[in-house]
Amino acid sequence: MRVTTSFPLGTLRDTPSEAEIISHQLLLRGGFIRRVNSGIYAYMPIMLRVIEKISSIIEKELNNNGCSKLLLPQLHPSELWKKSERWEGYTAGEGIMFNLKDRQGKEFGLAPTHEEVITSIASEIINSYKQLPLCFYQIQTKFRDEIRPRFGLMRSREFIMKDGYSFHSSKEDLSSFYGKMEKAYENIFKNCGLDTVGVDADSGSIGGAASKEFMVTADVGEDSILFTESGSYAANIEKAVSLPSDEIPLKKSKEVLFETPNQKSVIDVCQKNNLDASQIVKVVLFVAKFENKSEVPILTCIRGDQHINEVKLFNLINKKYNSNLIHLKILEDNAIIEKNLINFPLGYIGPDINDETIKNTSNWDKSWIRIADKSVSSLSSFVSGGNKINFHKVFQRFSFVEKNYLISDIRNAKKGDRISIESSEELKEKRGIEIGHIFQLGQKYSEKLNAKFSDKDGQLKSLWMGCYGIGVTRIAQAAIEQNHDENGISWPIQISPFEVLIIPTNLKDPNQKKLTEEIYKEFKSKKIDILLDDREDRAGVKFKDADLIGIPFQIIIGRDSINKEVEFLCRPSKSKIKIASKNLLEKFISESKVMYNKNS
Amino acid sequence: MRVTTSFPLGTLRDTPSEAEIISHQLLLRGGFIRRVNSGIYAYMPIMLRVIEKISSIIEKELNNNGCSKLLLPQLHPSELWKKSERWEGYTAGEGIMFNLKDRQGKEFGLAPTHEEVITSIASEIINSYKQLPLCFYQIQTKFRDEIRPRFGLMRSREFIMKDGYSFHSSKEDLSSFYGKMEKAYENIFKNCGLDTVGVDADSGSIGGAASKEFMVTADVGEDSILFTESGSYAANIEKAVSLPSDEIPLKKSKEVLFETPNQKSVIDVCQKNNLDASQIVKVVLFVAKFENKSEVPILTCIRGDQHINEVKLFNLINKKYNSNLIHLKILEDNAIIEKNLINFPLGYIGPDINDETIKNTSNWDKSWIRIADKSVSSLSSFVSGGNKINFHKVFQRFSFVEKNYLISDIRNAKKGDRISIESSEELKEKRGIEIGHIFQLGQKYSEKLNAKFSDKDGQLKSLWMGCYGIGVTRIAQAAIEQNHDENGISWPIQISPFEVLIIPTNLKDPNQKKLTEEIYKEFKSKKIDILLDDREDRAGVKFKDADLIGIPFQIIIGRDSINKEVEFLCRPSKSKIKIASKNLLEKFISESKVMYNKNS
């Protein structure tokens, strides 16, 4: 293509002030995207080529895996999301689904994900186990009304995703297909020229059993990954499991209340009373609000030197109850405490606080849901709140199990933790950008949407489901985060808008013009993805733009045209050679081959 | 692709009751689309292939025409649409734009069209005439909150469109580019294997100077096309211009009131008073409501045997005023008449009714906007209302011009009309499905959105714009309306989901199985678009499905496999031959070539 007649560039001289991270800045400066509103961008022609290359890498791999591409609607009727009990959670409060009413007053959501729609269609077209497994996928614009849109395409309100949904006749078949998809995902990211790491992940509001995220590691990533150097373990911090350091045993003493005036924090109590945080049991209170409008008070206990992982806690509570958990809030608002609790000494609560603290007039459930992290269940004695203002208490042989505590892992793993009793490996931490996520959903959606098939023995059973997402526009930006230098982007050749760029330095020179056209036509005839910067701008401007937009090879046509010589430049290595134009095509083919192989 | 492992079919036995027209029925029965909600459909894998083929035909032609593909957002901030003064018209009242508020309470519309967004981007990236012309296009899902969604993809609420926008430094350049796009459109539709007709069209709420629609003629079409047999003229009835038949001159008589008790209609007046409808001037009253909230009473006059064309009238009023016209309603509600008018004898109003009929307390403008169709301006004498209940009047030498009438064409052309004084050709009428529409927008949007460029002489000028739409999903359905028989669809080969379908009648027969695989692999190796129906169903079921889904060629593998013979069937002609498998590929190549050439 030619820049002047059919492929306008729109590079900027200055870095737009709105962009906080380098990949976002380069997308804007390179003219790849233009902001239309907060978190809403136009993909300019040069960006669309990147998106299409990523899309076709995904399509090729998924088609080989027996997946079928379709296209589902973006406007979803609320009825479907009410069947899966996700409407409230996705639209009310912190919900991220844009929603509207049509002219008849009917409610619709703008789809952030498609479990409901595809399960509903599957329920209509799948009758028999003979049709299974089936996997449908689409590549489509999705919507999320983000609380804080930022980082360009990393967290935008409109973005392109590949989402796929598989249907199976058994848990085993789902699990085996999930394994194949994991492999397909590794291939896709490799074929996009990306370095990624797969990590155990939380399955969040999507739900289900197993789930794995694929991360591009980068300092600006919004996710924290905990991993071992050996590669034996890697998980999102939301999901990671580890062992806390050993506690320092509390010296024997009587079970006794002691005064701790104004010592509301673990640090204060430790400092003033010569205690170690591992000797404290910290009590953290929450209120859980469910889709069916019920509200339940939650009492959690964790060792004083550890922290509650709210994602783990959320999932635990969500699984325990029939209704969907909409949100979980720390109890700290005095007005809410006074309305629902009697004589409640916040900051001095112990694990033995009784249910009578909940007022009869409260609309909360009338007993505390008690959850203790594993880190406290083994403590034989500890200090915790005395249930009296300005008092703490020494507890001896307190049994969390006997006091109706559910013992579970609700602790944040952190770097330095050991991964298991058997291993001495310690966790390390790095940041990652999530670009893919796969889930074993199980029968969650098929049960709620009544999607059944008849099994070999003629019995009707709920379908087993998996779901598989890739952030297409996010891949594009993550690739920049991983591949850039001080002059601009350096695209992996697989997803670069073009493979090679011709830069004639002065088209008024007839030799240059002639040689430029010859080379352009020769490359075009070999179906090479080539862009010709035929603008009349100064050479310096064109060189700057070339480095900024990051096409991996540049052919610079200058004064040596008269000798039929050009310069051939490799963007990532910055290496530049002078070469006779008759050898250029061959050189490009061999060099680009090396680059394709190196990246994938 | 194989039906069992990667390309599930989802044909239905019965015709869904919701589908009124054959193309909609066949899309549902063939498993091409599935309804998710009123006017909202999922495109199943077999449909997406059709959509992708149409899309790539469009892309190829537009890229050759120097257009650049991009992708614009679907969520549009209301600010942009307020700048173009289209927000109110598109969202309030009859407005068809779905709209919502985000979590910050900001208003957004779900885009039915993209003039605002692209003009705003153009204003940022275009500086100089040197960058012009430029044309951007996209292929994307659009939204319309239709009053009455129907006919499947013909009038749906989510649909796929190609929309393009061109930018020019002069009216002449716009006009010449528009001409090229007209030709490109003809090529696109021909390359899709469609019979289309281009007609003069109304430019509706998009606005602008010239506009042309491309129609697939079909009895179920929602548009009426008026045309001459010779092809010298074709226009949408909304826009068509013609000559009414000559009037029968009124016998000379004095200007006099005469009693016409209860004769409110033209027919009554004619019958009871021995008059011809062409001797009557019919007065039709409207109220126009503008974006700036003002309301204006409109008085129109037309010959009694003719009908007002409300589209022409709407456009005329819209152009005459600075504010956008939101809607135009016939004045017939007695409560509204009493509120705003004094002693107003509806049914007996004459063209000389005076402005004092409008009450001082009315919030309407205080004078009638008077508009007379050309059909009355030449009448030297006529009968019209007497401005008195139960009275009409003979008018002699009434001058519409002197009474401040704007004389214009606001008449519905109709079949049988002559097209001009010079020609004796008469208009004929047929129905059409609009699949494309091109517009010369002029400077309407660039002025409102302040999109300027600096001209050769350094002066800042507003960009000239064109806009170009194609209904991609509508093309798919229109193609079925034009190509089907009693057994199902018969796709034009260019947009068929596959070029050829292999139907083994019994895969348990090892000879059939072997030959099937050989042929499938041979065709695949030649990159032929082939589907293999490897289901274990009965042959009859597979034949029925094959005819229903309409792939143009079928290879039937049956008992003659043992002699390496198969049947080769052509879906449109229903011709079937027996052929040795070794000659099959060659036969397919030559036959498909004929079909490609015939259709395009």
Q: What is the pLDDT of residues A47-83, one digit of tens each?
A: 999 999 999 999 999 999 999 999 999 999 999 999 9
Q: Is residue A89 within 8 Å of residue A54, measured between CB atoms? A: no
Q: Are residues B95 and B117 in the same domain?
A: no
From residue B449, give the alpha-carbon distance in Å to each of B112, B115, B257: 18, 10, 55
Q: Are residues A335 and A435 in the same domain?
A: no
Could you tell me how many CB contacts below 8 A there are between chain A and chain B?
143
Shared domain check, A502 and A471: no
- A11 found inside a domain: no
pLDDT value of residue A15: 83
Task: Please indicate if any CB of chain A lies within 8 Å of the CB of B34.
Answer: yes
B64 and B58 in contact (C-beta within 8 Å)? no
- What is the average per-residue pLDDT within A474-479? 97
CATH number for position A402: 3.90.960.10
Task: For residues B299 and B392, state if they share a domain.
Answer: yes
Testing the interface with A: which of B48, B70, B449 to mutate, by most A Cβ within 10 A? B70
Q: pLDDT tens, A256-272? A: 899 999 998 999 999 99
The average pLDDT across B67-73 equals 98
Chain B: give the shortest CA distance to residue A351, in Å: 39
| A45 in B contact zone (CB under 8 Å) | yes
Contact at CB, B70 and A63, closer than 8 angstroms: no
Q: For residues B530-552, give the mean pLDDT.
A: 96
Closest Cβ–Cβ partner in A8, A73, A102 for B145: A102
Q: Show the CA angle centred on residue B184, arms to residues B178 and B189, nearest 5°.
A: 130
Number of Cβ within 10 Å of residue B597's Cβ equals 8
Which residues in chain B have Cβ-Cβ distances shorter than 8 Å to A108?
Answer: 37, 98
Q: Looking at CA atoms only, how far is residue B549 from chain A in angstroms?
A: 16
Domain membership flag for residue A530: yes
Q: Which residue has the tokens 């269609």?
A: A121
Residues in chain A with CB shorter than 8 Å from the CB of B100 are 98-100, 110
Mean pLDDT calculated for residue range A337-366: 93
* Alpha helix segments (H runs only) across A126-202: 171-191
Within a 13 Å sphere around the CA of A65, how many CA atoms are in the beta-carbon half? Answer: 29
CA angle A475, A477, A481 (to 5 degrees): 110
**Contacts A42 to B, Cβ<8 Å:** 70-73, 117, 121
Torsion of Cα atoms, B215 then B216 then B217 then B218, to 10°: -130
Q: How many Å apart are CA B395 and CA B502, to the nearest integer?
A: 77
Q: Which of A93-102, B320-329, B515-524 has the lowest mean pLDDT?
A: B320-329
For A88-121, the three-class secondary structure string (H helix, E strand, C coil) is HHHHCCCCCCCEEECCCCCEEEECCCCHHHHHHH
Extract the tokens encoding A527.
């179906």
Domain boundary among A419, A454, A481: A481
User: Within an 8 Å CB–CB cutoff, is residue A131 touching chain B?
Assistant: yes
Residue A540, domain CATH: 3.40.50.800
In the predicted structure, residue B437 carries a pLDDT above the cut 80: yes
- In the numeric block, which tokens belong to residue B389? 């209940």
The band of B44, judged by pLDDT with boundaries at 50, 70 and 90, is: very high
CB < 8 Å to B7, chain A:
68
Residue A415 lies in a domain: no
Q: Are A98 and B75 a contacting pair at CB < 8 A?
A: yes
Give the closest residue to A464 by CA, choosing from A210, A203, A214: A210
Strands (E), B228-293: 234-236, 257-259, 281-290
- End-to-end CA gap in chain B: 27
Residues B99 and B198 in one domain: no
Residue A133: asked if its preceding bond is cis (omega within 30°), the reply is yes
Amino acid at B355: D
Q: Does A136 touch chain B (CB under 8 A)?
A: yes
Structural domain of B282? 257-408
**CATH code, domain carrying A170:** 3.30.930.10
Whether residue A440 is found in the same domain as residue A584: no
Which phi and psi angles does B183 have, rounded to 5°? Answer: -65, -45
- Side-by-side strand order, sheet with B99-101: B75-77, B107-110, B99-101
Distance of alpha carbon A210 from its chain centroid, rounded? 15
**Structural domain includes residue A491:** no
User: Both tokens of residue A143?
Assistant: 């919507």
**A117/B143 touch (CB, cutoff 8 Å), yes or no:** no
Query: How would residue B254 be classed by pLDDT, with cut points 50, 70 and 90?
Result: confident
- Look at the block and give the residue holding tokens 């589902």: A72
- What SS3 string covers B352-372? CCCHHHECCCCCECCCCEEEE
Closest residue of chain B to A159, computed from CA coordinates: B73
B270: three-class secondary structure by DSSP: helix
- Residue B600: what pLDDT? 56
Please say which residue of B54, B85, B110 terminates a domain. B110
Do A58 and A194 lie in one domain? The reply is yes
B460 touches A: beta carbon within 8 Å = no
Which helix H or strand E contains A368, and what residues bound it?
Answer: none
Torsional class of A564: left (φ above 0), alpha (ψ -120 to 50), beta (otherwise): left
Helix (H, G, I), strand (E, B) or coil at A468: strand
Query: A238 versus A33: which is more confidently predicted?
Result: A33
For residue B153, what are its two tokens? 């993809």
Asked if residue B206 has pLDDT above 60, the reply is: no
pLDDT of residue A205: 55
Split into its structural domains, chain B has a count of: 4
Given an 8 Å threshold on Cβ–Cβ distance, is A7 in contact with B68? yes
Give me the pLDDT at residue A204, please. Answer: 61
Burial A71-100 (b: 16+ CB within 10 A, else e): bbbbbbbbebbebbbbbbbbbeeebbbbbb
Q: How far is B109 from chain A (nearest CA, A)?
A: 10
- Indicate if the pLDDT at residue A206 is higher than 60: no
- A387 and A315 in a single domain? The answer is yes
In a domain, A5, yes or no: no
* Residue reference for tokens 């009869």: A360
Indicate the residue type of B545: D
* Token output for B470: 């194609």
Decide if A119 is inside a domain: yes
What pLDDT, on a 0 to 100 scale, did the predictor assign at position A322?
65
Last residue of a domain, one of B64, B90, B110: B110
How confident is the model over B389-409, as pLDDT tens digits? 999 999 998 999 888 999 999
pLDDT band at residue B343 under the 50/70/90 scheme: confident
Q: Which residue of B has its CA nearest to A118?
A: B42
Annotate A241-261 with b (16+ C-beta within 10 A) or e (fewer).
bbbbeebeebeeeeeeeeebe
**Which residues numbered 370-389 in B keep a CB inside 8 Å of some CB on A?**
none
Band of residue B210 on the pLDDT scale cut at 50, 70, 90: confident
CB distance B91 to B210 below 8 Å: no
pLDDT per residue as tens digits for the range A128-174: 999 999 999 999 999 999 999 999 999 999 999 999 999 999 999 99
Q: Find, among A337, A472, A338, A450, the residue nearest to A59 by Cα.
A: A472
pLDDT at B201: 80
| pLDDT 10s digits, A273-298 | 999 999 999 999 999 998 888 899 99
Instruction: State residue B590's pLDDT score.
Output: 96
Torsion of CA B151, B155, B160, B165, to 10 degrees: 150
Q: pLDDT by residue (tens digit) across A370-388?
A: 999 999 988 889 999 999 9
Minimum Cα–Cα distance from B80: chain A residue:
A36
Q: In chain A, which residue's Cα lies nearest the Cα of B127?
A: A10
Alpha helices in A465-580 (DSSP H): 472-482, 510-525, 539-549
Q: Are residues A64 and A81 in the same domain?
A: no
pLDDT tens digits for range B5-33: 889 999 998 888 889 899 999 999 999 99
Q: With bands split at pLDDT 50, 70 and 90, how would you rate the model's confidence at A515? A: very high
Quick one: A437 and A576 in the same domain?
A: no
B404: left (phi over 0), alpha (psi -120 to 50) or beta: left
Mean model confidence pLDDT for chain A? 93
DSSP-assigned states of every residue in A36-74? EETTEEEE-HHHHHHHHHHHHHHHHHHHHTT-EE-B--S
Contact A70 B31 (CB under 8 A): no
- With respect to residue B13, please indicate whether it lies within any of the assigned structural domains: no
A19 domain residue, yes or no: no
Is the pLDDT confidence value at A99 over 70?
yes
Backbone φ and ψ of A241, nearest 5°: -120, 135
Residue A558 has pLDDT above 80, yes or no: yes
Instruction: Give me chain B's average pLDDT, please.
Output: 93
Q: Do A69 and B77 touch (CB under 8 A)?
A: no
In the prediction, which pLDDT does A208 show? 60
Are B72 and A36 inside 8 Å of each other by CB? Answer: yes
Let me know whether A173 and A272 are in one domain: no
Alpha carbon B483 to its chain centroid, in Å, reads: 20
Residue A295's CB: how many other CB atoms inside 10 A?
14
Residue in the structure block whose two tokens are 């069916």: A292
Above pLDDT 70, what percent of chain B? Answer: 98
* Residue B5 touches partner A, C-beta closer than 8 Å: yes
- Same domain? B231 vs B284: no
| Whether pLDDT at B39 is above 90 | yes
Residue in B44, B102, B131 closest to A70 by CB: B44
SS (H, E, C) B553-579: EEEEECHHHHHCEEEEEECCCCCEEEE
Q: A70, A81, A129: best mutation site toward chain B, by most B Cβ within 10 Å?
A: A70
Alpha-carbon span A217 to A191, nearest angstrom: 17
Instruction: Output the pLDDT for position A264.
Output: 87
CB A299 within 8 A of CB A285: yes
Distance between CA atoms of residues A357 and A385, nearest Å: 15
Q: Which two tokens stand for residue A322?
A: 């029939």
Confidence of residue A201 (pLDDT cuts 50, 70, 90): confident
